[in-house]
Amino acid sequence: MDVTKDLEVMLGDPKKAIKSMMVPLIVSYLVVQLNIFADMSWCSGLGSNASSAVSSIFPIYWIISGFGIGIGVGASTSIARYLGRDDKASADSVATQTIVLAILFGVVVTPILLLAMDPMITWMGIGDIRKECADYIIPMVWSSVILIVNGAIAGVVRAEGAAKKSMVILLSAAILNIILDPILIYVLDMGLLGAGCATAISTAISTAIGLYWYRRKMMYIDISFKDFRVNIEQMKDVLFVGIPRVTESTLISIMSLIQRFLIVPVAGMMGIAFYNVPWRYVSIAMVISQAAGSALIPVCSAALGQNDNVKAEAGYRYSFRITVAVMTIMAVFVFIFADYLVLPFAFSDSMVQYREEFAHGLRIYALFFPFMGMVDIGSSILQSLRMAQMSMVMAFIRNGFLVVLMLFAHTMDDFYWQLFATEVLGGMTMMAMATYEFRKYKRKRMLIGV
């Protein structure tokens, strides 16, 4: 097997490289979202309390997986730059340091979340569904190491341009979860606990697949723990991009929890479902921007490692154009067919009465699809420039602004339109910041003659 083929594509024409990586990433991210979609649909069948519990506590899952994604992005940026400079030995070492970092983060995160879980549920004002929340999230908390290593492995795989292999890792977890969900939830009568266990088991198996490839030398990058020594400089290099990305992801999840806290007094427990269930389609639409951004980071990082600013800029422009075009088409489709798209979340007797409200919220959400895409692409550009801290600051401002607006909400419509205003302004501002920083980067390189 030619393990250098993916690398050659990644280091070649940026449009071709991004396109070749985007397709498998879109497939894998789409299945991941469909997996979450199925998870919520199966759980909705357990009644409104179960649906509210999943919607309320799900940000905890994103906090955990956000650590893996952040470390993976840091690794992808660092490894791709080394590969662009034809320094394989350093790329191999960074990959190994990345796995160790992921394990360490998992070991630290697990006890913290276990201790914080009960107070967090109380603080959110969802004590009435405490058991349902705990049943769903506890298996994922106990498997934090696995979830974080999974994200890190996926980042290392993408760093060498092997998007199809990354797709297999994500697809295996999603498909296994879709299979296990109804078995554990209904056949074995485990309820929400079964849904959480299904996620933990499927992620463990997909992580094992990725580690097996590196163990069997089936990838270009070598991950080896023989004579392993901690390399502080390389860990710092990964964390320079990874920590802001982790902080950004954690911040968004915490802000999401705060938003739920503000919704309950206005619209009750079902208000959380009204606000979050339609978001599943926002997440599906964002598959496009996330795939483009995930492809952009290693391709453009490698181009910058080659000191080829023209190639990097071509990659940025292509990613932006295809993202906005496709997400605009998706927005039109969702707006027209909203009444039918909410049916999977409102099929049980206790949920039928809420279909109209779900559809109403979904139509408003559809209006900001393209701007959400701008947030992802702008953030990815900044990460490839090793300016992830800028993306983090922008995320803090955007989400902080939304929380302030939500303090003045009196109806669900207020919440919907506040979210719309925030995402439109956030998308435009993020792209403006990314464009400005890249132009500044080019001028700086020109001044030093690179």
d(CA 417, CA 259): 14
Closest-CA residue to 431 (of 372, 369, 367): 372
d(CA 322, CA 19): 10
Please count the other Cβ atoms lying within 10 Å of the Cβ belonging to residue 68.
29
pLDDT of residue 277: 81
369, amino acid identity: F
All residues at 6 or more sequence positions from 108 whose CB lies less than 8 Å from its CB, including other chains: none
**Which positions of the chain have pLDDT values less than 50?**
1
**C-alpha count within 13 angstroms, C-beta hemisphere, residue 5:** 9
How does DSSP assign 314-343, residue by residue? Answer: HHHHHHHHHHHHHHHHHHHHHHHTHHHHTG
pLDDT of residue 1: 44
For the chain, give the number of residues: 450
What separation in angstroms does the CA of 206 have from each of 166, 294, 400? 10, 19, 35
d(CA 199, CA 316): 34
Structure confidence by residue, pLDDT tens digits, 288-318: 998 898 888 888 888 887 788 888 889 899 9
24-59 burial by CB neighbour count: b if 16+ within 10 A, else e? bbbbbbbbbbbbbbbbbbbbbbbebbbbbbbbbbbb
How large is the angle between the packed helices 369-384 and 232-276, nearest 10 degrees? 170
User: DSSP character for 184?
Assistant: I
